[in-house]
Structure 1
Amino acid sequence: MTMPLKAKTRPVEAYIALFGKVARRKDLLAGGYTAWNVKQAVSSGRIRCVSRGYYALPDASPLDLHFARHQARRTCFTKAEELGLWIIKPPPQPHVAAAHGRPVPGCLVHRVSGGQTLLDVLRQCVKCGAEVEALAVLESAVVLRQCTIQDLREAFSGREDTAGRAIIDMIDPQSQSIAETVGRYHIRKAGFNVQAQFYIKDVGHLDLLVEGVLGVETDGKRFHDTPEGWEEDLRRDNLLVIKGKWCLRIPAKVVLYHPELMTRWVRQALEMINHAQNPS
Structure 2
Amino acid sequence: MDTLTSRKPVEAVIAAMGSTTARRPDLIKRGLTDWDLQRAVAEGRVRRLARSVYGLPDAAAFDVLLATNQAQLGCFSRAEKMGLWVLNTPRIPHVAVIHGRPVPGCKVHRFKGRLTLWDVLRHCVQCGTEVEALCVVESALVKKKCTMSQLRRVFDKRRDAAMRRILDKVDPQSQSIAETCGRYFLREAGFNVQGQAAVRGMGHLDLLVEGILGVETDGEKHHNSALAWAEDLRRLNVLTIQDVPTLHIKASDAMYHPDAMVELVRNALRALENRRR
Fold shared, TM-score > 0.5 on shorter chain: yes
Q: 1:240 to 1:132 in 2, by over 3 A?
A: same
Query: Which amino acid in 1 is paired with 2:118?
Result: L
Q: Deviations over 1:187-225 (max 9, x none)?
A: 111111111111112211111111111111111123212
Q: 1:200 to 1:64 in 2, by over 3 A?
A: same
Task: State the Cα distance separating 1:231 from its structure 2 match.
Answer: 2.0
Aligned residue pairs total 271
Taking the aligned partners of 1:11 and 1:152, their CA distance within structure 2 comes to: 39
Native 8 Å contact 2:7 2:31 kept in 1: no
Q: Deviations over 1:201-256 (max 9, x none)?
A: 22111111111111111111232122221221122112212221111111111111
Q: Secondary structure at the match of 1:217?
A: strand
Alignment correspondent of 2:155:
156
Alignment of 1:53-64 (within 5 A): 53-57=52-56, 60-64=59-63
Alignment of 1:75-86 (within 5 A): 75-86=74-85
Task: State the Cα distance separating 1:22 from its structure 2 match.
Answer: 3.7
Alignment correspondent of 1:182:
181
Q: Secondary structure at the match of 1:161?
A: helix
Q: 1:273 to 1:47 in 2, by over 3 A?
A: farther
Taking the aligned partners of 1:118 and 1:227, their CA distance within structure 2 comes to: 38
Please say which of residues 11-20 and 80-89 is displaced more in the overlay.
11-20
Please say which of residues 197-206 and 27-36 is displaced more in the overlay.
27-36
Taking the aligned partners of 2:70 and 2:275, their CA distance within structure 1 comes to: 63
Residue identity (%): 51
TM-score (norm 1): 0.87
Query: Which amino acid in 2 is paired with 1:186?
Result: F
Task: State the Cα distance separating 1:28 from its structure 2 match.
Answer: 2.9
Q: Secondary structure at the match of 2:95?
A: strand
Alignment correspondent of 2:29:
30
2:64 corresponds to 1:65: yes
Q: Secondary structure at the match of 1:145?
A: coil
Alignment correspondent of 2:221:
222
Q: 1:210 to 1:72 in 2, by over 3 A?
A: same
Q: Secondary structure at the match of 1:121?
A: helix
Please say which of residues 68-77 and 79-88 is displaced more in the overlay.
68-77
Query: Which amino acid in 1 is paired with 2:257?
Result: H
Native 8 Å contact 2:85 2:139 kept in 1: yes
Alignment correspondent of 1:266:
265
Taking the aligned partners of 1:206 and 1:138, their CA distance within structure 2 comes to: 22
Q: Secondary structure at the match of 2:113?
A: coil
2:200 corresponds to 1:201: yes
Please say which of residues 33-42 and 267-276 is displaced more in the overlay.
33-42
TM-score (norm 2): 0.88
Alignment correspondent of 1:98:
97
Query: Which segments of 5 or more consecutive residues in structure 2 lack a partner in the other structure?
Result: 1-5
Q: Secondary structure at the match of 1:147?
A: coil
Query: Which amino acid in 1 is paired with 2:109?
Result: H
Q: Which has the larger radius of gyration?
A: 2
Taking the aligned partners of 2:8 and 2:267, their CA distance within structure 1 comes to: 59
2:99 corresponds to 1:107: no
Query: Which amino acid in 2 is paired with 1:109?
Result: V
Q: Secondary structure at the match of 2:159?
A: coil
Task: State the Cα distance separating 1:148 from its structure 2 match.
Answer: 1.6
Taking the aligned partners of 1:10 and 1:150, their CA distance within structure 2 comes to: 40
Q: Secondary structure at the match of 1:55?
A: strand
Task: State the Cα distance separating 1:95 from its structure 2 match.
Answer: 0.4
Native 8 Å contact 1:179 1:218 kept in 2: yes
Q: 1:101 to 1:272 in 2, by over 3 A?
A: same
Taking the aligned partners of 2:182 and 2:227, their CA distance within structure 1 comes to: 24
Native 8 Å contact 1:16 1:23 kept in 2: no
Q: Deviations over 1:90-125 (max 9, x none)?
A: 112210112221111211111222211111111111
Please say which of residues 137-146 and 20-29 is displaced more in the overlay.
20-29
Task: State the Cα distance separating 1:9 from its structure 2 match.
Answer: 7.5
